[in-house]
Amino acid sequence: MATLSISLHKLNTPFVSRLLYVSAFIPVSTSPSPSVYHTLVDSGVTINLIHKSVVSFLRLIVDPHRGLLVTLADGKTVVPCSGYVSLSCTIADVSYSGIFFVAPLGTQSLILGMPYLERENPVIDWQAKTLAPPLNPSLNLLLPTLPPIPELLPVLPNPPNPPNLCLKCRLPRIFPT
């Protein structure tokens, strides 16, 4: 898995102009108005991610998930995911609910990966760096739903060491719980 996290001093470079950010509006139980988070959209990420400080601030309930490691785009930095949260938010005027893995993401508050992009199928203008709802949302209902990643792997008869899968997110665990 590859994600992108950049340091604060890199935020003022032309490199950022190549990144696509959207606003994610997350309802807060203690406030009449939602919290707004600058959210990176990254098609190279196989999961959705949320910064652990955002989880703490929003007082979200974290389901533990030990062993999932995320490799950042530099290929050197590996951060552990401490668990995952079920999160509902609004992006480009469309409600989205999904699983977000909790990790220390550097300067990124949230990262929307392929789970969001495949399910919502937004219209993305990469030159203008904008994201909009699909032109015809009813077409999303016609798209085939792919099985979770572990089910795409070939099934071996009587595997010597079957993977220890998380029952909720269906990703392999690296360390036993």
Q: What is the pLDDT of residues 65-122, one digit of tens each?
A: 877 887 766 666 677 888 999 999 999 889 999 999 999 888 889 999 999 999 999 9
Is residue 169 assigned to a domain? Answer: no
Whether the pLDDT of residue 154 is over 70: the answer is: no
Q: Would you say residue 84 lies in a domain? A: yes
Say if 136 falls within a structural domain: yes
The CATH number given to whatever domain includes residue 55 is 2.40.70.10
Q: What percent of the chain has pLDDT over 90?
A: 34
pLDDT of residue 19: 82
Confirm whether 100 is domain-assigned. Answer: yes
Query: pLDDT digits over 39-68, tens only?
Result: 999 888 889 999 999 999 999 999 998 778
Arithmetic mean of pLDDT, 128-137? 83
Q: 19-25: long-range contacts (C-beta < 8 A, 24 or more apart)?
A: 19/129, 20/124, 20/126, 20/129, 20/131, 21/129, 22/91, 22/92, 22/112, 22/131, 23/91, 24/89, 24/90, 24/91, 24/109, 24/110, 24/112, 25/89, 25/90, 25/91
Structure letter (DSSP) for residue 157: S
Residue 161 lies in a domain: no
Q: Residue 39's beta-bridge partner residues?
A: 22, 110
For residues 60 and 163, what is the distance between their CA atoms, to the nearest angstrom?
A: 28
Within-domain flag for 166: no
| pLDDT, tens digit, 9 for 90 and up, residues 7-28 | 444 444 444 557 889 999 999 8
List the domain range (segments joined by +) for residue 117. Answer: 2-152
Please tell me the predicted confidence (pLDDT) of residue 82. Answer: 87
Q: Other CB atoms closer than 10 Å to residue 79's CB: what's the count?
A: 18
Total tally of structural domains belonging to the chain: 1
Distance between CA atoms of residues 172 and 87, nearest Å:
21
Q: How many CA atoms within 13 Å lie on the side-chain side of 115?
A: 19
For residue 5, what are the CA distances in angstroms to 23, 32, 79, 111? 17, 31, 11, 9
Bigger pLDDT: 31 vs 133: 133
Q: Which comes out higher in pLDDT, residue 32 or 21? A: 21
CA dihedral over 123, 115, 84, 86, signed as positive or negative: positive
In a domain, residue 92? The reply is yes
- Per the domain annotation, does 174 fall within a domain? no
